[in-house]
Amino acid sequence: MFALFKKEINTFFNSIIGYIVLAVFLVVNGLFLWVFPLDFNILDYGYANMDGLFILAPFVFLFLIPAITMRTFADEKSKGTIETLFTKPLTDMQIILAKYLASLLLVVLSLVPTLIYFISVYRLGMPMGNLDSGAIWGSYIGLLFLGASFTAIGVFSSSITDNQIIAFIAGAGLCAFAYLGFEFIYGLALFGKIDLFIKSLGMNAHYASMSRGVIDTRDVIYFLSVIVIFLLLTQFVLERRKWK
């Protein structure tokens, strides 16, 4: 399993994909946070906080993570190497986990350089360090769980097709619905007493909860459940080959 994980990581960084992913995430967030004169601009806002990053990052992830995961299984299928992969002494779930963890590592690496923003905001505070560190670290943890969930959805989307473009579109669509779809349904106020329950099914509600700096067990269990469900769905899709 580790050999496959290492191979996936090498594939990312032996091509331009890995570097583009890291650059796009940093450049897009950097421009909105420090350059463009918008509400997200830290310098114009006048307060030492990083709310802009944690509002923007999920929307960047909606496109960035499906771009990372679209090749995981779709590329194997299109090249005809998927059967060779399954002849290795690994279970289907070990193969899925190796690809999932490799993709997730790239997502984590995209977040690490944003700690520079934290250091900058920390030093810009009046007095220095005058910021809500608890909420910031809670938001980072929430963003990691959100990224991990999007990655599981992206890997599943890649498993259902042999076309990387379709995998990208399906992944972005599913991630967008999981993050925003339930909020939209909740906003319609169609279901009365169960509206709040419907809202709680969406990722945004749990991400926002963690961003307040309180790590609730219910939020952690929610994200872990989403990850497990989509990895199991991926396993189900791959096992269908045995039925043919």
What predicted TM-score, i.e. pTM, was given to this entire model?
0.92
pLDDT at 243: 52
pLDDT at 47: 66
Domain ranges for the chain: 2-243
Q: What are phi and psi of 60, to 5 degrees?
A: -65, -40
Query: 50-84 pLDDT, tens per residue?
Result: 888 898 999 999 999 999 999 999 998 888 888 88
Mean pLDDT over residues 127-141, rounded?
81
Mean pLDDT over residues 174-191, rounded?
88
Q: What letter does residue 67 receive in the DSSP assignment?
A: H
Confidence of residue 219 (pLDDT cuts 50, 70, 90): very high
- C-alpha–C-alpha distance, residues 100 and 4, integer Å: 11
- C-alpha–C-alpha distance, residues 22 and 17, integer Å: 9
Of the listed ranges 115-119, 204-208, 232-236, the one predicted with least confidence = 115-119
